């Protein structure tokens, strides 16, 4: 397995509860390395563009409202097969279905306010990383 990168977002429910460090620790303990990080407030346009694939889903408007409701921390994570590793440590989308010990099972509030985002493929990781970071902002 190769060392690859993925995009993580610590969502507004987690930043609101001051869990940025706790989430980051869980990512690091799982073997991921934070090689870029910034705390930002997403605009409506950014959130809609980021979640464009979900535009027709019934939860799209609520999701955009939630993601713009407070600060987020966008991070590039590096590690052994980073996309899959990050998805393992995040747990299932619905915290009620997530394995014990995962970020969502331990910290998330609901299927929407589920504390973290992680890219779902290497292709999407590359696209999502470029959405938030210039190459020189990523220092491995
Ligand atoms: P994903 O692209 O898989 O990360 O999904 C986007 C996000 O939409 C999830 O992380 C949740 O925050 C939210 N979401 C997904 N499914 C639902 C749902 N059935 N109801 C409400 N929010 C959802």
Is the pLDDT score of 1 beyond 90?
no
Structure tokens at 34: 């934070």
**What three-state secondary structure class fits 44?**
helix
Q: Which of 10, 63, 74, 123 to mutate to test the pocket of ligand 1 (most atoms within 8 A of CB)?
A: 63
- Does the CB atom of residue 59 touch ligand 1 within 6 A? yes
Q: What pTM did the predictor assign? A: 0.97
Structure tokens at 90: 């995040």
Contact call for residues 48 and 131 (beta carbons, < 8 A): no
Q: How would residue 60 be classed by pLDDT, with cut points 50, 70 and 90? A: very high
Contact call for residues 51 and 60 (beta carbons, < 8 A): yes
- Known active-site residue 117: yes
**Per-residue model confidence as pLDDT tens digits over 91-135:** 999 999 999 999 999 999 999 999 999 999 999 999 999 999 999
């Amino acid at each position: 397995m190769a060392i690859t990168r993925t995009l993580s977002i610590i969502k507004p429910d987690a930043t609101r509860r001051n869990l940025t460090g706790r989430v980051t620790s869980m990512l690091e303990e799982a073997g991921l390395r934070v090689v870029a990080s910034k705390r930002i407030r997403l605009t409506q346009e950014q959130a809609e563009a980021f979640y464009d694939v979900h535009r027709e889903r019934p939860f799209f408007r609520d999701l955009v409202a939630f993601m713009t409701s407070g600060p987020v921390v966008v991070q590039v994570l590096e590690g052994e097969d980073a996309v899959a590793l990050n998805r393992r440590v995040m747990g299932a989308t619905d915290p009620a279905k997530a394995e014990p010990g995962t970020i969502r099972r331990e910290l998330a509030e609901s299927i929407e306010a589920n504390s973290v985002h992680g890219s779902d493929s290497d292709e999407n990781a590359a696209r999502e990383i470029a959405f938030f970071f210039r190459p020189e902002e990523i220092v491995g």
